[in-house]
Structure 1
């Protein structure tokens, strides 16, 4: 099956299920334009997203099976200096990663990867970016298989807080990390910033264990990759990784922190592109006792269309065209309860 044929099937199943592109995009937390590109065969969806769509359209595994039959990555190419790592990673039975800068390639969402490749380029060639993204995402296939090798990743907290590609892209990337954390062979943990200088390694590195038991240590500079099988270096970085696993946040706590960071991205997202539609209010409400005809001294809350995002919108009643703040229902409820008890002194 070709990518175009898969895209046609996706579109047919979506329409049969009575879902518009925008509606499906909200359910899988992506931009409607990305759904369009999936259906045209221009972009490769992540397997976790395909499985979710399969459930939403009631395809009973048909879409997932079709996805697995597409030759998505038959003609991909890695940079020459990276090819050795890609080849060894493809054979490794265990991959241990520590990253201080970016989400590792094995865990990147396509839009996040594209933003990285576009960085620093004045006029990036779309075809070249697409090819490089395809090559990077192709590395994930074996980790997403039911019998995939162990992938253990420790991310410095700065990685999940550093916005790459804008709030919308970063939100999708963090959501993808949460999806990956549900897989039995993938462990993702966050090293909190409070560890500071106590961390035993100040640079990103990867430890690969090959089928014969041999280990390889890999790290990168700006323009090249570096491999070593030096036993002393392997021991040093293996101990560093063991230290990380004993001092970083647990998987549940790491997931909680990632969700917290995602909530912080909601407000910037609310004013960008199609997210303005996702956070469009159904109706604004204001107090009849505190607001006069000119707005008075009142804030206005509103429910939003994307109820699954769990967002309450708030604005100044005197400035209805001004900034809008998006907060969680729990935060709004706590604020309203405290205001009702007079805890803000009439402010």
Structure 2
């Protein structure tokens, strides 16, 4: 039975000295995160945002400049990587080329001097779990990339760590295999019940794998939430822009009545649900996903089609309004009117699918 553990990060900072020690670079800037036992959490963000540094501090490969890391309630700042109840699945697989699959998976247990019968039982169970039956005597160079990744996953799982760490493990695989392997990783994680912390810059990977996503940018946490929360109610413009495709329209809060805001965009006023802190007279930005925009012969705003592209499942439009350019995805175009470049149209949007930031 898996012994899952929660992870608590308190005011964690990692500073690097650069230019001969004359200046500092804050790779991670005072972040606090609570991860529950058995949860699958993804650290997501662009290159240089601090996600890998955060993962490496949890693993013990980097030492925090400030702050604390707790695993299962125990502070682990001063423990070496081998003394922490974690295991890492690396981007490069890091398999031993001179050992067969069985011995690669068994390596950590042999170091721990586990009883031979117990070791054999654990390795066989893990090999079955990750679907590598019959490949025990093969060597890494005789396996596909996906199979090598399964061996790396099995080698980490067989140690029965409290937390499993993933450092962009699928980035070396082709697109189709990456989709398949992320499904397999999630299935195995759920079956075993292990806590997983996963680093990626691929938003599709994060959305499909995660219970919660932690969006990082320039060393700070921009937002923590479920994939749905991150997509539909982004906390900042950065989050909205990083996850999926987002349109931004500038407006003003014309009136507030409880949790209902009257928004003024150009000369048009309309009501939207709003639970934020902005007040009457303040400028705001509306986040509209492409699927939330509807176009037709009547509507709130006048616009012009500046690009129209058939994409199979949807017609992709780029629309010019007076003060914004919008991307629109009109699904099932076979039964719709197709508007061509240069045509004047009107724009509406689903008010339940508009978010104010």
* TM score, norm. by length of structure 1: 0.26
Q: Whose radius of gyration is greater, 1 or 2?
A: 2
The one of the two structures with greater contact order (alpha-carbon pairs below 8 A, sep at least 6) is: 2
| Larger strand share, 1 or 2 | 2
* TM score, norm. by length of structure 2: 0.26
